[in-house]
C-alpha cells in the first residue's frame, strides 16, 4: 500500500487550446521561448456590446478591454463526435473544446480513441461553471431538452466518457482557479489506487459573456491593460484569459511496459483549504505554505530537491507577495545564493485561464523540461517592492535560464490557488533517461537502416472536406519536422490514428 501511495505517474501526452491561436504544445513553446504575449482585444462574439469604460465605478462596464481569448470557438465539428447540429448549438463551447482537446491528446499519445471503449479510463476535468446559458436570458421558451445537459458542469466530464465509451470515473471539479490542478491530483490518486488504468485530466474555461470582466471591474481587481504582471512592481490586477489543457496519465511502470514516450513524471501532489482567513476570497499564506510542504512530503522530497516553481502568480498586489512569502518560508532556509529557487508564471504570456490555469502550468513545465530552458516571465523588469527578495531564496525569471539535465533529476513545483480557498500544488520531475537503440549492423559493419524509399502516409476523415483538411495539417507538420524519419511517421498514421470511411494515401 505504501508503494501505491508514492507510485510515480507518467505524463504520456498533452494537448492545449490557448489564446493567440495556439493549438498545440509546440506552438505554446514557441510563444514561451520567444517571450511572446498572446493577450489581445476583446473577442468578436462580444461585438456590439457597449462594454468599455475607463471609470472603475461605471456600472455594467469593464475598465479593461484586452484579455487572452480563444479563436473560432464556434468551429466545432459536431458530426465528427456524432452530435446533431441542434444539440451542438445548445452545448457550452467548453464541452465542445474539451472533446476536441481530449481527442488530440489521445492521438498524440499514439492511442486510438476507439480502442478505449469499455475501458476503465478516468476523466477528471476542472471548470468554473458555465455562463453560456445566460445568452438565452433564461428564456423558458428556449429550453429544448438539450440546454440543461449542454450546460451542466457534471456533463463536461460525462460527455467525454459517453463519446468514447469510457467506464472509469468521470469527475468534474470546480474549486475556481485551482480546478484543473485539483483534477490532476484526483487523477493521480485514482491511478495509484487502481480505480483506473489510464486517466485524462485537465480543465477548460471559455467566457461566453463578459460577466467576469464586469464583476472584477467592480472589485477593482482587474489589470487595466488585461495582462498578468506576475511578481512585478507594475502588478495591478488579474488579466483574464480562456483556454484548455489536457494531459494523458498512466502509472510509470505501465507506461514503460507499454513503450510509451514519457514526457515527465508526477512525483507528488497535495490539496488543502484556506479555511477562515482575512476574507472569503483572500489568499492565506500559511495554507499555501502547508500545501507545498504536503506535496513535497507526498513526493518524499525536500525543498532542496526543487529547482523552480511555476507559480499561481496572478499579478495582484495582494496575492503575489503572499505567495512569494509562503514559498520563501518553505524554500528559503535551504537555498544558497548560487542556487535560488527560480520563480515564473505563464500567466504573464497568456493571461489567467482560470479553471484551465493549473493544467496549462503543468504543460509549460513539461515543455521547459523537454527544451532544457526555463522561459522568462513577462512584464517583470522591476520585481515587486512588496516582496522581500533579499534572503528569500527566490529569484524571479526575468530572463530565460538554461535548465539542463545533470547528475540529479530536475524538478519543479506547480501552484494553483482557487478563489474558493482551495489550494493545490504538484511536483513534476524529468522523465527517466531512455537509452537510444543502437543501429543494426550488417556483417560488413554497415548499417542496415531502411534506405530512403517512398512510404505511404495513410489519411482518413469522416468526410472528403475533413480528409482534405487533415492532409493540409499533415503537410504543415511534415514541413516543420523534416528531421523525423518518414517510416516512423507512416507507422504512426497507419497504426495510431483512427481510420474513418473517407481515406487516401
The residues with which 67 forms a beta bridge, in sequence order, are 40
The H or E element spanning position 363 is helix 357-371
The C-alpha cell 489506487 sits at 193
CA atoms within 13 A on the CB side of 469: 7
DSSP for 44-100, written as a single string = GGGTT---B-S-TT-TT-BS--EEB--S-TT---TGGGT--HHHHHHS-HHHHHHHH
Q: Which of 16, 185, 196, 352 is catalytic?
A: 352
Q: Which of 16, 196, 228, 312 is catalytic?
A: 312
Q: Return the SS3 of 172.
A: strand
Residue 369 grid cell: 523540461
Report yes or no: 298 and 400 within 8 Å, Cβ to Cβ: no
CA atoms within 13 A on the CB side of 406: 8
What span, in angstroms and rounded, lies between the C-alpha atoms of 497 and 115?
10
Residue 177 grid cell: 482557479
Q: At what angle do helices 357-371 and 179-192 cross, to 10 degrees?
A: 70
Strand 264-273 and strand 9-17: the pairing is antiparallel
Q: Which of 16, 177, 196, 228 is catalytic?
A: 177
Closest by Cα among 452, 459, 456 to 474 = 459
How far is CA 315 from each of CA 227, 365, 400, 493, 494, rounded to the nearest angstrom?
A: 8, 19, 19, 43, 46
Sheet with 341-344: list strands edge to edge: 170-173, 121-126, 198-205, 243-251, 9-17, 264-273, 422-430, 411-417, 308-310, 341-344, 394-396
Does the annotation count 196 as an active-site position?
A: no
Q: Return the SS3 of 464.
A: helix
Rg for the chain (alpha carbons), in Å? 23
Does the annotation count 352 as an active-site position?
A: yes
What span, in angstroms and rounded, lies between the C-alpha atoms of 322 and 415?
13
What span, in angstroms and rounded, lies between the C-alpha atoms of 76 and 162?
18
Does the annotation count 17 as an active-site position?
A: no
Q: Return the SS3 of 346.
A: coil
Q: Which residues have CB under 8 Å from 63's CB, separation 6+?
A: 52, 53, 54, 55, 56, 217, 222, 224
What span, in angstroms and rounded, lies between the C-alpha atoms of 443 and 447?
9
Active-site annotation, residues: 177, 312, 352
Amino acid at each position: 500500500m505504501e508503494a501505491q501511495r508514492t507510485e510515480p505517474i507518467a505524463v504520456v501526452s498533452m494537448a492545449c487550446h490557448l489564446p493567440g491561436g495556439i493549438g498545440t504544445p509546440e506552438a505554446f513553446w514557441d510563444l514561451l521561448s520567444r517571450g511572446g504575449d498572446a493577450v489581445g482585444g476583446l473577442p468578436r462574439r462580444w461585438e456590439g456590446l457597449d462594454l468599455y469604460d475607463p471609470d472603475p465605478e461605471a456600472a455594467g462596464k469593464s475598465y479593461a478591454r484586452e484579455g487572452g481569448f480563444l479563436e473560432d470557438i464556434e468551429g466545432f465539428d459536431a458530426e465528427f463526435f456524432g452530435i446533431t447540429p441542434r444539440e451542438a448549438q445548445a452545448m457550452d463551447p467548453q464541452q465542445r473544446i474539451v472533446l476536441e482537446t481530449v481527442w488530440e491528446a489521445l492521438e498524440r499519445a499514439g492511442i486510438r480513441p476507439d480502442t478505449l471503449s469499455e475501458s476503465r479510463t478516468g476523466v477528471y476535468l476542472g471548470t468554473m461553471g458555465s455562463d453560456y446559458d445566460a445568452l438565452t436570458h433564461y428564456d423558458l421558451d428556449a429550453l429544448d431538452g438539450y440546454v440543461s445537459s449542454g450546460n451542466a458542469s457534471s456533463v463536461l466530464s460525462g460527455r467525454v466518457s459517453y463519446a468514447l465509451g469510457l467506464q472509469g470515473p468521470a469527475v468534474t471539479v470546480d474549486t475556481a482557479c485551482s480546478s484543473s490542478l485539483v483534477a490532476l491530483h484526483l487523477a493521480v490518486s485514482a491511478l495509484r489506487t487502481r480505480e483506473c488504468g489510464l486517466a485524462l485530466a485537465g480543465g477548460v474555461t471559455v467566457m461566453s459573456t463578459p460577466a467576469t470582466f464586469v464583476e472584477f471591474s467592480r472589485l477593482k481587481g482587474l489589470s487595466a491593460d488585461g495582462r498578468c504582471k506576475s511578481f512585478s512592481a507594475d502588478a495591478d490586477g488579474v488579466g483574464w484569459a480562456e483556454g484548455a489543457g489536457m494531459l494523458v496519465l498512466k502509472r510509470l511502470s505501465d507506461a514503460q511496459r507499454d513503450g510509451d514516450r514519457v514526457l515527465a513524471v508526477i512525483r507528488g501532489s497535495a490539496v488543502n483549504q484556506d479555511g477562515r482567513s482575512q476574507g472569503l476570497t483572500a489568499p492565506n499564506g500559511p495554507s499555501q505554505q502547508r500545501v507545498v510542504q504536503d506535496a513535497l512530503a507526498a513526493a518524499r522530497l525536500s525543498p532542496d530537491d526543487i529547482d523552480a516553481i511555476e507559480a499561481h502568480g496572478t499579478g495582484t498586489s495582494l496575492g503575489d507577495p503572499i505567495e512569494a512569502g509562503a514559498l520563501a518560508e518553505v524554500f528559503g532556509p535551504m537555498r544558497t545564493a548560487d542556487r535560488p529557487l527560480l520563480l515564473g508564471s505563464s500567466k504573464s504570456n497568456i493571461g489567467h485561464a482560470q479553471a484551465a490555469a493549473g493544467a496549462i502550468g503543468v504543460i509549460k513545465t513539461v515543455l521547459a523540461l523537454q527544451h532544457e530552458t526555463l522561459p522568462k516571465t513577462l512584464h517583470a523588469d522591476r520585481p515587486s517592492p512588496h516582496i522581500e527578495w533579499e534572503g528569500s531564496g527566490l529569484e524571479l525569471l526575468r530572463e530565460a535560464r538554461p535548465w539542463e539535465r545533470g547528475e540529479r533529476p530536475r524538478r519543479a513545483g506547480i501552484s494553483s490557488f482557487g478563489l474558493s480557498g482551495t489550494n493545490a500544488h504538484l511536483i513534476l520531475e524529468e522523465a527517466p533517461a531512455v537509452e537510444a537503440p543502437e543501429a543494426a549492423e550488417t556483417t560488413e559493419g554497415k548499417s542496415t537502416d531502411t534506405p530512403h524509399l517512398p512510404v505511404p502516409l495513410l489519411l482518413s476523415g469522416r468526410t472528403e472536406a475533413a480528409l482534405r483538411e487533415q492532409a493540409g495539417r499533415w503537410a504543415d507538420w511534415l514541413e516543420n519536422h523534416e528531421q523525423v524519419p518518414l517510416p516512423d511517421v507512416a507507422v504512426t498514421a497507419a497504426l495510431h490514428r483512427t481510420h474513418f470511411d473517407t481515406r487516401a494515401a
